[in-house]
Amino acid sequence: MTQNLLFFAIGANLAASWFLVPQLLGSQNHYMRVAATTSFYLSVCGGIFVFANTKSALAALELGLLFTVLIKLILLNLKMVHTANYPKHRRCY
């Protein structure tokens, strides 16, 4: 049970790194930020591969990517709802 929670925590940290690395490398270009985030993902999965096994490393990588995609979709929806051009903005709730 603790291993499952550990993998969820690692996946959540990987997803958070996708959003925190651009803040730390603000002046760099887009490709540098993507390269830094990708290298962080690969180094974490490589460390898990060394200390555990391949299935564990791939599980952490998949959870990280899944959380990243879900958060990006939620943020896209939130940004779209708060835009003045979106029709929901003109409704009274």
Domain-embedded: residue 18 = yes
| Structure-token pair, residue 65 | 């990517």
**How would you write the pLDDT of the chain (93 residues) with one tens digit per residue?**
557 788 888 888 888 888 887 777 776 787 888 888 888 888 888 888 888 888 888 888 888 888 888 888 888 777 766 666 655 555 555
Q: Which domain holds residue 39?
A: 2-68
Domain-embedded: residue 27 = yes
Count of structural domains, the chain: 1
Rounded to the nearest 10 degrees, what angle do helices 30-51 and 2-24 cross at?
160
pLDDT value of position 56:
83
Domain-embedded: residue 79 = no
This prediction's pTM: 0.68
For residue 20, give the amino acid letter: L
Domain-embedded: residue 35 = yes
